[in-house]
Amino acid sequence: MKDSPHSNGKRVSMPVSGMHCAACAARIEKTLSSLPGVERVSVNLADESMQLAFDPAAVDLDTVVRRVADLGFTATPPQAEASLELAITGMHCAACSARIERAVGALPGVLGATVNLAAETGKFSFDPQRTSVRDIRRTIRDLGFGSESLQATDFFKTRREEAEKNLSRLRRELYPALILAGLLLYVSMGHMLGLPLLAMIDPHHSPAGFALAQFVLVLPIMWAGRRFYLIGIPSLLRGGPNMDSLVAVGTGAAFLHSLWNFIEILLGVDPAAKAMDLYFESAGVLIAMISLGKYLEAGAKYKTSDAIAALMRLTPDMATLVRDGEHVPIPLDEVVAGDVLLVRPGERVPTDGEVVEGLSGVDESMLTGEPLPVTKRPGDTVTGGTLNTTGALVVRTLRVGADTTLARIVDLVREAQGSKAPIADLADKVSFYFVPTVMACAVAAALAWYFLGGATYTFSLRIFTAMLVIACPCAMGLATPTSIMVGTGRGARLGILVKSGSALQEAGKLTAMVFDKTGTLTR
């Protein structure tokens, strides 16, 4: 957490899972804004995060997390302690694992040490101000065992992996749903276009077979889209309907109506007429199409993080530590301030530091945009992520981890991507009231057609379902944050840092830009 520049409070960023449309983000903002002590809250649907400024004396994070949970979402607060998970090799019995637990647990600042002999893994929690990852791994190594990190220590990498897994899951569910929806559409509508159907599923020869075929095809589609019901119905019952509620109610009504007619066909109640009053295909095709939209939406959100991923790839995974005249390769997360590192020609500088030995040209185009390398001598500073070109450099580390220049650039880009442009506030306000308004209009329209227009129950049901499923506020709520993420990310890759979404929106009004810079502007 960082001090807010505008108050004595605190500012924190945390992931929020379970959001599915702009109405979800708007509900979280409106609920948390009403809490005493909350100064500002901004929820970004596109990257599923929340920026919160609050007064710790008036409200704590546990209260915020509980209020978010009451709305049906999950907010994960940042941990005050660091955690480390390692794959440990060389253990042969329970005594080995016990030795590691005792030795690591005795280190200053280690809060917990658990070693699993069967899985050959260890989990450790510690205070990073008192001990380091290197201390823990060195202790394990001194005991005669090997260790390797099992987890990505960077939050962004973890979130990106989760997004990739979610995209893969949606893809696995989408393909069968689309194929079955196509078959369902053929069975239900094929005879109207003169397409051939087997006699056993032809509505004119076998109404029961016709209805059974559609029922069998729609069930796996609804199972693939079960998240709409598992999320939408509880949200509706909590009084905060979202886009999934629209889909769940609309397709659920069509399915239940068709199921009742299917039962009547089996009971012999006017089967020929009832066979023409089935809407299984409406439920199945709508779920498949909306699932396709969800997949495309998830893909767009995943790609918005490409710019940050490209920036993070600038730092190497390993560094060469100079210790007692030896060159020891170590993981980057083990480097601490004060370490002396060797940077060979062609390697990227691991962290921010000061040159203590050597002469070389360093490509700093990632920072300055200048294509020519800058000569570095002893006493000069170097930046993590820049490229060493000609000679070897020995560098003393000044800043590591989140304190490096590149890490601050990544944080700035991430914060800008998560910020809201003024136009996004308008979209969120509209989205918040949009879903309940649509549901009310759908009910009013169906009742008006039935009681005032003299329409049949079936026609009124179609009006109700159609109004629910075509009214999705997601595009409205996602368009602005996604464009901000893409714009700021693309700018970062080109060396242009945008401070916030509002700055990006104002930049769109520029007609001329004046540069005050010594030297030349690089095209």
Q: Measured between alpha carbons, how far is residue 233 from residues 219, 240, 394, 434 in Å?
A: 18, 10, 61, 17
Which residues, in sequence order, are bridge partners of residue 358? 393
Run of H or E residues at 100: helix 94-105
**Distance between CA atoms of 20 and 166, rounded to whole angstroms?**
13
Is 202:189 a contact under the CB 8 Å cutoff? no
Rounded CA Rg of the chain:
30
Cβ within 8 Å of residue 344, ≥6 positions away: 320, 388, 392
Alpha helices in 190-334 (DSSP H): 207-224, 226-237, 243-266, 271-275, 280-303, 306-312
Run of H or E residues at 105: helix 94-105
516 is catalytic: yes
User: What DSSP designation does 277 have?
Assistant: T
**Distance between CA atoms of 399 and 382, rounded to whole angstroms?**
11
Is 18:45 a contact under the CB 8 Å cutoff? no
Phi, psi of 473 (to 5 degrees): -85, 5
The amino acid at 68: V
Which residues, in sequence order, are bridge partners of residue 139? none
410-419 burial: b if 16+ Cβ within 10 Å, else e: bebbbbbbbb
How are the residues of the chain apportioned to helix, strand and coil, as percentages rounded to the nearest 5?
Answer: 50, 20, 30
Cβ within 8 Å of residue 278, ≥6 positions away: 188, 210, 211, 214, 258, 261, 262
**Distance between CA atoms of 17 and 48, rounded to whole angstroms?**
6
Is 16:74 a contact under the CB 8 Å cutoff? yes
The candidate with the shortest Cα–Cα distance to 330, out of 149, 200, 106, is 149
Tally of CB atoms within 10 A around 339: 20
Tally of CB atoms within 10 A around 186: 15
- Pick the catalytic residue from 62, 142, 317, 516: 516
Provide the token pair at 225. Answer: 């889209």
Angle between helices 280-303 and 243-266 (to 10 degrees): 150
Q: Catalytic site residues?
A: 516
